[in-house]
Chain A
Amino acid sequence: MASVAASGRPLLPPLVTRLLVIAAGVALWEGAARLGWINAFTAPAPSAIWSGFGKILSEGVLGYSMVVTFVTAFGAAACGSVVGIAIGYFLHIWKPAGAAYTAWVAAAASAPLVLLYPLFLVIIGRNMWTTLVMGAIGCIPPIALKTKEGLDGVRPVLLNVGRAFNLTSKQQFWMIMFPAALPSIFTGIRIGLLFAILNVIGIEFLISVGGLGQLIATLGDRFDYPQMYAGIFFVILVSVAFFWIIERLEQWLLSST
């Protein structure tokens, strides 16, 4: 990077460098759209998107859509985490099941489970529960895998410390195994959360039951691309909020175990 001096110390603070890179990107995009290098209709200039923010906020549907998406994705992630951690724990303690099914869970983690949505439309119906279930299903496999990996990876010496202190099996789990596996479990939750948000937005987009996904689909159908990009920005905002919450949750759990 050019902002590194010969002494190895950065010339600019990292935050300033980051903001400068973003500003340069936005300026380049703005210039390209205005000069006609890119199609300003499908990729409107940032200034046009900025005006789209005003419109989308004034129409009054954004707040509700954000709440719907946030609640659905949060519910999906919470349900998926509980089920995923339980499956991971089961695969860890029951070794034959772990040997037999871990590969399947790994395959499920990389499969596009969102394509199962017609099945759940039939079973559950065209409502928010389908979105929630699809979101939860998407995040279960990575959380289960990382939970198993975390629990398998607890160093035997830590378990021996617990045994030497005559810990009960419940204490052994909550005081040693769980906190030791927590970093891996939270890696799974972060990956799972990504799948949950993708699935929730995708299903909202496909079955139009509300939320940011439906809003983006509607704006796209109206060819209102500046507002559509503004909607996408709010999807990113929801993701950032989630990751922030997960990080705080991890820190709180680690400090309280």
Chain B
Amino acid sequence: MANDAQGTTPVLRLQNVAKTFFTPHGDVRAVEPLSLDIRQGEFISVIGPSGCGKSTLMNIVGGLIEDYEGSVEVDGVQVRGCHKEIGMVFQEESTFPWRTAIDNVAFPLEAAGMGREERVAKARELLHLVGLDGFENRFPSELSGGMRQRIAIARTLAFRPRILLMDEPFAALDEQTRLLLGDKVVQIQQELNQTTMLITHNIAEAVQLSDRVLIMTFRPGRIKRVVEIDLPRPRSSKMMGGERFGHYVAAIWDDLREEASKGLQELERLRS
């Protein structure tokens, strides 16, 4: 693992990954052949207009879509379907309403057959990591949207995935919660050296969190440009007022604007 620590061997490798949806109204090319390497501990964001295939890409990598072209490799081994080294955090509310916070986090450990005492101890540690001490026995309905999303993140981290995929996990949250949760994700990612791939619409969020930002074109989705974010770590939302931060946001928006316009035009065409 020495190479991994130095960040030379990709933990996740996508080779010519592409996807076409066959529908009664015709074939839809969602993702054009796309190749990408992600190193250990790297934080990658994928940004693009609605309908560019970002979520499709995440579902391919996460194994929820199995019929695609190309290959996905984890540590050099080709995988297809859900894989224990890849954890997913979803955009929609995904905590189990019938389980308390601690039982939600302990869920994958319980499924793996771990004893109650051990899994509760691990779940407690993770709740501490996401800043939810004292809320162990609360049900999701008693918690805010941001807290529920932190439970979902802790639950995904419970089975120690090498790669964490997050599909717009802050999309349903208000701006202030989104910023604070972004800080928390940065902190967790640094503490665990967690390889992470984030799907987002939010440019500032992508710049704040990422080492690299992948800008995708409107349908069919392909990588238009990769922006290396050379901002010092540890990062936080306080950096957002900085000049370099603003420079990155502007540069990404320059590329994204054209694609977003195409998406909007397509939407208007479909409505008319």
The reply to whether chain A is a binding partner of chain B is yes
B111 on interface, CB distance cutoff 8 Å: yes
Q: Are B82 and A164 in contact (CB under 8 A)?
A: yes
25 cross-chain CB contacts under 8 A: A155-B92, A157-B90, A157-B92, A157-B94, A158-B94, A160-B64, A161-B88, A161-B90, A161-B94, A163-B63, A163-B64, A163-B82, A164-B64, A164-B86, A164-B88, A164-B156, A165-B82, A165-B108, A165-B159, A167-B111, A175-B111, A179-B96, A180-B98, A254-B98, A257-B98
Neighbouring A residues of B98 by C-beta, 8 Å: 179-180, 182, 254, 257
CA distance A212 to B159 in the complex (A): 56
CA distance A180 to B97 in the complex (A): 8
CA distance A167 to B111 in the complex (A): 7
Neighbouring A residues of B110 by C-beta, 8 Å: 175
* Range for the number of chain A residues in contact with chain B: 10 to 19
Q: Can you name the residue of chain A whose Cβ is closest to the Cβ of B155?
A: A161
Interface residues in A143-180 by Cβ distance below 8 A to B read: 155, 157-158, 160-161, 163-167, 171, 175-176, 179-180
Interface residues in B220-262 by Cβ distance below 8 A to A read: none
CA distance A160 to B62 in the complex (A): 10
Interface residues in A242-257 by Cβ distance below 8 A to B read: 254, 257
Q: Can you name the residue of chain A whose Cβ is closest to the Cβ of B110?
A: A175
Q: Can you name the residue of chain B whose Cβ is closest to the Cβ of A179?
A: B98
Chain A min CB distance to B198 (Å): 16
CA distance A180 to B108 in the complex (A): 17
Q: Per DSSP, are chain A's interface residues mostly helix, strand or loop, or mixed?
A: helix
CA distance A257 to B44 in the complex (A): 36
CA distance A167 to B110 in the complex (A): 11
- Residues 175-215 of chain A, each 1 if its beta carbon lies under 8 Å from chain B, else 0: 11001101000000000000000000000000000000000
- The count of chain B contact residues (Cβ–Cβ below 8 Å) is 21
CA distance A254 to B139 in the complex (A): 12
Q: Number of A-B pairs whose CB atoms are under 8 Å?
A: 46
Q: Are B62 and A164 in contact (CB under 8 A)?
A: yes
Q: Can you name the residue of chain B whose Cβ is closest to the Cβ of A182?
A: B98
Q: Are A165 and B107 in contact (CB under 8 A)?
A: yes
Neighbouring B residues of A163 by C-beta, 8 Å: 63-64, 82
Neighbouring B residues of A160 by C-beta, 8 Å: 64, 88, 90, 94
Neighbouring B residues of A164 by C-beta, 8 Å: 62-64, 82, 86-88, 156
Given A155-B92, A164-B88, A180-B98; A171-B111 close (CB under 8 Å): yes
CA distance A15 to B90 in the complex (A): 44
Chain A min CB distance to B195 (Å): 16
Complex A-B, nearest 3 residue pairs according to Cβ-Cβ distance, in ascending order: A164-B88, A157-B92, A165-B108
Interface residues in B76-124 by Cβ distance below 8 A to A read: 82-84, 86-88, 90, 92-94, 96, 98, 107-108, 110-111
CA distance A163 to B94 in the complex (A): 13
CA distance A157 to B86 in the complex (A): 16
Neighbouring B residues of A176 by C-beta, 8 Å: 96
Neighbouring B residues of A157 by C-beta, 8 Å: 90, 92-94
Neighbouring A residues of B92 by C-beta, 8 Å: 155, 157
Neighbouring A residues of B63 by C-beta, 8 Å: 163-164
Which of B82, B90, B94, B107 is close to A166, meaning CB atoms less than 8 Å apart?
A: B82
Q: Are B82 and A158 in contact (CB under 8 A)?
A: no
The winner among B82, B86, B87, B93 for most chain A CB atoms within 10 A is: B82
The winner among A158, A161, A171, A257 for most chain B CB atoms within 10 A is: A161
Interface residues in A101-160 by Cβ distance below 8 A to B read: 155, 157-158, 160
Chain A min CB distance to B172 (Å): 12
Known: A158-B96, A160-B90, A163-B64. 20 other contacts (CB 8 A): A157-B90, A157-B92, A157-B93, A161-B88, A161-B94, A163-B63, A164-B62, A164-B82, A164-B87, A164-B156, A165-B108, A165-B111, A166-B83, A167-B111, A171-B111, A175-B111, A179-B98, A180-B96, A182-B98, A257-B98
- Residues 199-240 of chain A, each 1 if its beta carbon lies under 8 Å from chain B, else 0: 000000000000000000000000000000000000000000
Neighbouring A residues of B83 by C-beta, 8 Å: 166
Neighbouring B residues of A257 by C-beta, 8 Å: 98
CA distance A164 to B161 in the complex (A): 11
Chain A min CB distance to B229 (Å): 27
CA distance A157 to B63 in the complex (A): 14
Chain A min CB distance to B29 (Å): 23
